[in-house]
């Protein structure tokens, strides 16, 4: 999916270059990357970068602009009350409601169409969904764009403080 999105974004591989920059920043500067250490997984981080592109693609012109938008958006995100989804925040109390709901103000300016996302989900699925378990809420809640009941933030320990503005050096 990364190659396909990178092709959609264009701009001399802006999506891939931004992922590399943000991974480096998260690993070396903020020390929040590494699922085996109770930190965020690489796939979760790539999904967060995809979220930034999906919501703000028209204003992104270079990897530093993407890093800035990433830090700005997620340092202000209300992690206590909301989950991150590709289409924006989803209230934790309404996780029974489909996470695909898009705020009216953003519906016409998204990077990826619902049809595209469904095609990608169909490609990675192994047939009809047999696991209908609810979304497991954890300290960090990121809804997988390809499987809505998969929490990509499940590896993060509460004590790590991932994505709080003080931890990110933004205060």
Please tell me the predicted confidence (pLDDT) of residue 18. Answer: 97
Return the closest-CA partner of residue 43 out of 130, 163, 150, 135. Answer: 150
C-beta separation of 45 from 66 below 8 A: no
Please tell me the predicted confidence (pLDDT) of residue 156. Answer: 87
Return the closest-CA partner of residue 58 out of 110, 3, 4. Answer: 110
Please tell me the predicted confidence (pLDDT) of residue 171. Answer: 45
Helix, strand or coil, per DSSP, at residue 27: helix
pLDDT digits (tens, 9 = 90+) for 47-83: 999 999 999 999 999 999 999 999 999 999 999 999 9
Count of beta carbons in the 10 Å neighbourhood of residue 145: 22
CA dist 61 to 5, 108, 110, 136, 171, Å? 15, 20, 16, 36, 26
- The backbone torsions φ and ψ at residue 40, rounded to the nearest 5 degrees and listed phi first, read -75, 145
Each domain of the chain, given as residue ranges in start order, spans: 2-158
Please tell me the predicted confidence (pLDDT) of residue 55. Answer: 92
Show pLDDT as tens, one digit a residue, over the chain (171 residues).
788 888 989 899 999 999 999 999 999 998 888 888 888 999 999 999 999 999 999 999 999 999 999 999 999 999 999 999 988 899 988 875 544 454 544 556 888 888 888 788 777 666 555 556 788 888 889 999 888 888 999 888 766 555 554 455 454
Please name the residues in contact with 136: beta carbons below 8 A apart, sequence gap of 6 or more.
Answer: 149, 151, 154
Give the 3-state secondary structure of 127-141: CCCCCCCCCCCCCCC
Please name the residues in contact with 129: beta carbons below 8 A apart, sequence gap of 6 or more.
Answer: none
Give 95: exposed, middle or buried? Use CB within 10 Å, 0-12, 13-18, 19+: buried
């Amino acid at each position: 999916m990364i190659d396909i999105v990178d092709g959609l974004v264009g701009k001399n591989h802006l999506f891939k270059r931004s992922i590399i920059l943000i991974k480096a920043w998260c690993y070396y500067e903020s020390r929040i990357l590494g699922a085996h250490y109770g930190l965020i997984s690489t796939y979760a981080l790539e999904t967060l970068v995809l979220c930034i592109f999906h919501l703000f693609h028209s204003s992104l012109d270079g990897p530093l602009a993407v890093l800035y938008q990433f830090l700005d958006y997620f340092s202000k995100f209300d992690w206590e009350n909301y989950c991150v989804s590709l289409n924006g925040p989803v209230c934790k109390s309404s996780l029974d409601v489909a996470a695909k709901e898009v705020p009216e103000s953003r519906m016409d300016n998204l990077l990826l169409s619902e049809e595209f996302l469904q095609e990608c989900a169909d490609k990675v699925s192994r047939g009809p969904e047999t696991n209908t378990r609810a979304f497991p809420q954890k300290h960090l809640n990121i809804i997988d764009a390809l499987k809505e009941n998969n929490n990509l933030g499940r590896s993060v320990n509460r004590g790590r403080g991932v994505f709080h503005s003080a931890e990110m050096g933004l205060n």
